[in-house]
Amino acid sequence: MTKYLLWIALAGIVFWLLRKSRAARSGEPRPPVEREVEGMVKCSYCGVNQPMSESILTAGRYYCCAAHRQAAEADSKVG
Protein backbone atom coordinates (compact mmCIF):
# COMPACT_ATOMS: atom_id res chain seq x y z
CA MET A 1 0.00 0.00 0.00
CA THR A 2 2.75 2.43 0.93
CA LYS A 3 4.74 1.46 -2.17
CA TYR A 4 1.67 2.12 -4.35
CA LEU A 5 1.23 5.62 -2.95
CA LEU A 6 4.93 6.32 -3.42
CA TRP A 7 4.69 5.48 -7.14
CA ILE A 8 1.67 7.77 -7.56
CA ALA A 9 3.54 10.61 -5.86
CA LEU A 10 6.59 9.98 -8.05
CA ALA A 11 4.47 9.97 -11.23
CA GLY A 12 2.86 13.20 -10.11
CA ILE A 13 6.23 14.89 -9.57
CA VAL A 14 7.52 13.71 -12.97
CA PHE A 15 4.35 14.94 -14.70
CA TRP A 16 4.61 18.30 -12.92
CA LEU A 17 8.29 18.70 -13.89
CA LEU A 18 7.54 17.87 -17.55
CA ARG A 19 4.73 20.41 -17.65
CA LYS A 20 6.92 23.04 -15.99
CA SER A 21 9.81 22.57 -18.43
CA ARG A 22 7.47 22.60 -21.44
CA ALA A 23 5.84 25.84 -20.30
CA ALA A 24 9.22 27.48 -19.76
CA ARG A 25 10.34 26.53 -23.28
CA SER A 26 7.25 27.67 -25.20
CA GLY A 27 6.29 30.73 -23.20
CA GLU A 28 8.79 33.53 -23.67
CA PRO A 29 8.31 36.44 -21.29
CA ARG A 30 7.28 39.50 -23.26
CA PRO A 31 8.96 42.80 -22.44
CA PRO A 32 6.44 45.05 -20.72
CA VAL A 33 7.78 48.13 -22.54
CA GLU A 34 6.66 46.79 -25.93
CA ARG A 35 3.12 46.28 -24.71
CA GLU A 36 3.04 49.81 -23.31
CA VAL A 37 4.19 51.37 -26.57
CA GLU A 38 1.63 49.29 -28.47
CA GLY A 39 -1.18 50.76 -26.38
CA MET A 40 -0.07 54.38 -26.76
CA VAL A 41 -2.21 56.74 -28.83
CA LYS A 42 -1.79 60.35 -29.90
CA CYS A 43 -4.26 63.07 -29.00
CA SER A 44 -5.80 64.42 -32.21
CA TYR A 45 -5.87 67.90 -30.74
CA CYS A 46 -2.55 68.50 -28.94
CA GLY A 47 -0.59 65.44 -30.15
CA VAL A 48 0.42 64.18 -26.72
CA ASN A 49 1.06 60.43 -26.37
CA GLN A 50 -0.78 58.53 -23.67
CA PRO A 51 -2.16 55.03 -22.97
CA MET A 52 -5.15 54.04 -25.07
CA SER A 53 -7.08 53.07 -21.94
CA GLU A 54 -6.79 56.61 -20.57
CA SER A 55 -7.75 58.44 -23.74
CA ILE A 56 -11.17 59.27 -25.17
CA LEU A 57 -12.18 57.72 -28.50
CA THR A 58 -14.63 59.73 -30.58
CA ALA A 59 -15.38 59.16 -34.28
CA GLY A 60 -12.16 57.14 -34.73
CA ARG A 61 -9.97 59.81 -33.10
CA TYR A 62 -8.26 59.73 -29.73
CA TYR A 63 -8.12 62.62 -27.31
CA CYS A 64 -6.10 63.01 -24.12
CA CYS A 65 -9.00 64.61 -22.24
CA ALA A 66 -12.63 65.64 -22.61
CA ALA A 67 -11.64 69.30 -22.95
CA HIS A 68 -9.56 68.56 -26.07
CA ARG A 69 -12.33 66.43 -27.53
CA GLN A 70 -14.74 69.34 -27.12
CA ALA A 71 -12.17 71.81 -28.45
CA ALA A 72 -11.58 69.66 -31.55
CA GLU A 73 -15.32 69.37 -32.12
CA ALA A 74 -15.70 73.15 -31.79
CA ASP A 75 -12.85 73.70 -34.25
CA SER A 76 -14.36 71.34 -36.82
CA LYS A 77 -17.71 73.12 -36.56
CA VAL A 78 -16.15 76.55 -37.05
CA GLY A 79 -13.65 75.58 -39.76
Interacting residue ranges for Zn ion, rule: CB under 5 A: 43, 45-46, 64, 68
Nearest distance in Å: CB 71, Zn ion: 8
Q: Which is nearer to Zn ion, 12 or 39 (CB)?
A: 39
Q: Which is nearer to Zn ion, 21 or 49 (CB)?
A: 49
Nearest distance in Å: CB 13, Zn ion: 56
SS3 47: coil
- Using a 10 angstrom Cβ sphere, with 0-12 exposed, 13-18 middle and 19 or more buried, the burial of residue 23 is exposed
- Using a 10 angstrom Cβ sphere, with 0-12 exposed, 13-18 middle and 19 or more buried, the burial of residue 59 is exposed
Q: Which is nearer to Zn ion, 12 or 51 (CB)?
A: 51
